[in-house]
Amino acid sequence: MTGTPVLASCVVSTCLFFCASAANALSQNITALFRPDPSKPQQNAFINTTPNSGYCQEHPPQCGSSMFSIRLPLTFTSSRPIQANHGDPRQGAMFEMPANWRISQVTHTGTGETAFVEVRWSGFGSRHELPTSVVDLVGGGVGVITAHDRLWNGRAWVYASAPCQYSGVGYYTTRNFQFFWRTPREGACAKRANYLVPSMRYSYLDFAYELRTPNPLRMSSGQYTGSITYSVGPGRDIDMGDVMVGSDSVVTLNFKLDVEHTLKVDLPPGGNRVELVPQEGWQAWLNSGQKPTRLFRDQRFHISTSSRFKMMLECQYVSGNTCAISAAGSGHAVPVNVSVTLPDGLTDAAGQSINRRRLWRDGSGTELFQPGSYIDRRLGGLHFEVAQNSVEQMLDSGATSYAGNVTVIWDSEV
């Protein structure tokens, strides 16, 4: 981001300084969701559902739609005074964050399938608290913002030290400065004190992060969980130099990725065209005049679903509560019986399996099918049949062909 930094003065109550023990651990959930959108078939990515806190919650325009932040109750307190003009950056206000991409494995809670998430810290911030007025620390006689500029080499804290970059927003009081810096790459960012700082405290740790999530189309429906742990302390993942001591020694991010596949049915190539034929073929009729007992065709399909659904018919030609096929020219029509067989794991509202269940135009008898668990490309079948009495009518009509469109509907809006 470019532009003029925004500085604002406000009244913030100061906290008492204390010595913190670095023996505890913090954890934070990171959640993301994939739910297919039929209107956007190419948008196959997770959406970050983790609520923002801290910087991006307070300053949404600075973050936009691609940057997220979380405020951790992780504090740092100086273990000794920060000396004026210290030569070693580690002896003052120094920050090094896990800005490089790191990988975490996530595992499906039911099947044990695995995938990988990548995360990096793209920024961090806090509020540093001084024991007395910054004006007094630099000798008095200047305004508050001038005193903040003079206390630290490189001006006030809104101006980040390389390789960090400023965010554009900073807030200050006589004793505090709230800041946020971006981290385009990993490296130590430091402020050198120009005057003695008897003590200092960071009252929280904000961090912004970026996620790279796996391809959800290659993942089963359900929840995937995993974690990544960062150590806190000198020379560790979250390194605040040698003077500032953290209240916790470990920060763990717990990932929870939810995959919610919607209803999906796949027909084989050419499966949308169904030709009804006698079980024994047409030769018996052509050779001896023996009428077929029925015309039928079974059409296989694969179904993937994690949701309840209902089924019904739509028809080009109607015969009562079912569809029909019609002879071109004469308009003579006969009904077509359509039924469905669903794979194991899919039952009706009474818990019964679905084997050649009749489909009707009004959906009666097929108002609710539900999975006991996620069904992933399991084999089912559609069954089309013209009964014997209708076949006899077709043969007696003198027509050479019958045709019609039958639409089978799987509807997840139950």
- Per the domain annotation, does 252 fall within a domain? yes
More confident residue, 40 or 22: 40
Quick one: 302 and 245 in the same domain?
no
CB under 8 Å to 201, separation ≥6 — which residues? Answer: 15, 17, 75, 76, 77, 78, 128, 129
Residues 136 and 85 in one domain: yes
| pLDDT tier for residue 312 given thresholds of 50, 70 and 90 | very high
Q: Which helix (H) or strand (E) holds 58?
A: helix 55-58
Let me know if residue 383 belongs to a domain: yes
The pLDDT confidence band at residue 42, using thresholds 50, 70 and 90, is low
274 and 218 housed in the same domain: no
pLDDT tens-digit map of 143-178: 999 999 999 997 889 899 999 998 878 899 999 999
Q: Say if 402 falls within a structural domain.
A: yes
Q: What is the mean pLDDT of residues 15-33?
A: 64
Quick one: 19 and 163 in the same domain?
Answer: yes
Q: Supply the range of the domain harboring residue 228.
A: 6-259
Region 194-217 average pLDDT: 94
How many Å apart are CA 47 and CA 50, to the nearest integer? 9
Confidence grade of residue 6 (pLDDT, cut at 50, 70, 90) = very low
Our count of domains for the chain comes to: 2
Among 259, 293, 318, which residue terminates a domain?
Answer: 259
Same-domain check for residues 239 and 281: no
Claim to verify: residue 186 and residue 204 sit in the same structural domain: yes
* Per-residue burial over 25-37, b = 16 or more CB atoms within 10 Å of its CB, e = otherwise: ebebebbbebebe
Answer whether residue 12 shows pLDDT above 50: no
Inside any domain, residue 1: no
> In this predicted model, what pLDDT tens digit does every residue of 315-373 receive, in sequence order?
999 999 999 999 988 889 999 999 999 999 899 999 999 999 999 999 999 999 988 87
Tell me the pTM: 0.67
The Cα angle at residue 175 between residues 172 and 181, in degrees rounded to 5: 45
Rounded to 5°, the CA angle 217-252-250 comes to: 160
Structure-block tokens of residue 277: 């034929």
Judge if 88 and 31 occupy the same domain.
yes
293 and 211 assigned to the same domain: no
342 found inside a domain: yes
Q: Do 115 and 244 lie in a common domain?
A: yes
Q: Are residues 340 and 286 in the same domain?
A: yes
Which residue, 208, 229, 259, sits at the end of a domain?
259
pLDDT in tens, 264-298: 899 999 999 999 999 877 776 766 667 788 999 99
Choose one of 234, 259, 284: the last residue of a domain: 259
The CATH code of the domain that includes 301 is: 2.60.40
% of the chain residues with pLDDT over 70: 91
Same domain, 210 and 237: yes
Domain membership flag for residue 207: yes
DSSP 232: B
State the pLDDT confidence band at 11, using cuts at 50, 70 and 90: very low
| One domain, residues 212 and 329 | no
Residue 281 makes CB contacts below 8 A (sequence gap 6+) with: none
Inside any domain, residue 24: yes
Average pLDDT of the chain is 88
Residue 168, pLDDT score: 76
pLDDT given at position 39: 60
